[in-house]
Amino acid sequence: MVALVIVLALFFDFTNGFHDTANAMATPIATGALKPRVAVAIAAVLNLVGAFLSTEVARTISGGLIREGAGGIQITPTMIFAGLIGAIMWNLATWLLGLPSSSSHALFGGLIGAVIVGTGFGAIDPSVLMTKIVLPAILAPFIAAIVAFVVTKIAYGITAGPKADQARKRFKYGQVFTSSLVSLAHGTNDAQKTMGIITLTLIAGGFQASGTGPEFWVIAVCALAIALGTYMGGWRIIKTIGTAITDIAPPQGFAAEASTTATILASSHLGFALSTTQVASGSVIGAGLGKNRRGVRWRVAGRIALAWLVTLPAAAVMAAVAELVARLGPWGIAADAVVGAAVIVLMFRRSRRNPVNHKNVASEISVHSAHTPTMSMPNAPPSISNKSARHSPVPAPRANERNVH
Amino acid sequence: MIAWAEFGIVAVASLVGACVLVTFASVGIRLVESRERTRAARPAAGHLYGAGALAAFAVCAATVVFGIYLIVPAFN
């Protein structure tokens, strides 16, 4: 059981990696500041480094959300197992749809669902749920969008002049640094969650003394899993953040990344943790608005917002079902594992029907500059020029999607 | 209840940090552009622009280094 949970936790770490590559690397890929393969390689290395750098171990993964430990409830490896199944399913489903949802929310949702089924609603602290998850989730994109809006205005204002276009291309060099900072910050945060999960499981299984930090091998495998996931590149999500929300020029990319970096660093150091995914998406929206008030495709933004709302409950429901089945005994757990594996394989197969990879994630840019909107976003409207957007609030039909492949 | 004061501090700190970085990067880029334009005709002015750009990028580099300092817990 413990081994199974560790394998699942590492797989979750992997999905976390490829889900979140986009946070740092969607904008530099979109502006051509970094070649797609180079971008994901940098992100992977920095995630690996980041995972080792951080010594602050998230010993309480849930941050008080679940009343675990002495006087509280006993989290069993089965609950963690079910929680991870829910989180992985949701991460893969949103990836398939190209939606940037928070991996942390999926993980929390999964654990909450499993724990509620396992021990009842008393296990969850609703006030912590509000202050740690719901309100930050609402505020994060706004604060990032406002900051990105302001700095995009600044970037365009200062560089305005006779040779503005030529000058603004130079922001690409800056993008390399800002996007790398986002990757590094991500590595120090997100690999921690899986380390915490595995350590919690080892303690629950009696393999490790209570109250101790993660073993070195746990840190190493978690770092590797998140780096590998990052290197695989969640191209679908990169496409959404980089090209579907708005068309990004180098100054906007730089401004968005600077805002993401500043917001994440400020929040993690001043004790108001915000989701990297939500901050990054908010920044891109702000940068889009900063250049052109009609530059944001609100339908795409709305879909993303909806995904954020649904993430926690959806992962919770899937984990709750998995936990119900797992409670039937060893056969239940086996059934969970088999069904889970089958769904994962199905989703990967489904994804190959309209693949998005390092080749066509970049082809987008040439398509955009040529003003022929034939892009294909999985389940999102094709790109529309600002001019046509003014006349029709509803994006053009998706008929031209199949031209691409 | 939510800590509005903390949230306010985060918002202001994010804004200030991003503004410093983007302002100086933009100024540096603007100066590089000016340097390219004037270098041939007026070398002295070109040098001045170049030095200004360098100073602006130095501030950006310092901001990035400060960011790394914040990210790595061992430094804190």
ipTM of the complex: 0.89
3-state secondary structure of A69: coil
pLDDT in tens, A212-238: 777 788 888 989 999 998 988 788 888
pLDDT in tens, A20-48: 888 889 888 988 888 888 999 999 999 88
pLDDT of amino acid A10: 92
What DSSP designation does A400 have? Answer: G
pLDDT in tens, B22-53: 999 999 988 888 888 887 788 888 889 989 99
Q: Which residue has the higher pLDDT, A241 or A374?
A: A241
User: How close is the nearest chain A Cα to the Cα of B74, in Å?
Assistant: 7
Q: Which residue has the higher pLDDT, A230 or B72?
A: A230
Binary contact (A259, B18; C-beta < 8 A): yes
pLDDT of amino acid B74: 67
pLDDT in tens, A349-379: 888 777 788 777 765 444 444 333 334 444 4
- Best mutation target among A153, A154, A252 (most B Cβ atoms within 10 Å) is A154
Contact B34, B49 (CB under 8 A): yes
Average pLDDT value for chain A? 79
The C-alpha atoms of residue A287 and residue A149 are separated, in whole angstroms, by 5
Characterize A344-365 residue by residue with b for buried, 16 or more Cβ atoms within 10 angstroms of its Cβ, and e for exposed: beeeeeebeebebebebbbebb
User: How close is the nearest chain B Cα to the Cα of A65, in Å?
Assistant: 14
Binary contact (B25, A155; C-beta < 8 A): yes
pLDDT in tens, A50-79: 888 765 545 545 455 666 555 566 778 888
pLDDT of amino acid A353: 76
**HSE-up of residue B41 (Cα within 13 Å, Cβ side):** 5
- pLDDT bracket for residue A397 (50, 70, 90): very low
* Res. B1: pLDDT tops 70: no
- pLDDT bracket for residue A405 (50, 70, 90): very low
Tokens of A24: 């740092």
For A110, A258, A335, the CA distances from A92, given in Å and listed in that order, are 14, 28, 19
| Inter-chain CB pairs, A–B, below 8 Å | 135
pLDDT of amino acid A64: 56
pLDDT of amino acid A402: 38
What is the share, in percent, of chain A residues with pLDDT greater than 70? Answer: 83
Tokens of A142: 């706004």
pLDDT of amino acid A72: 60
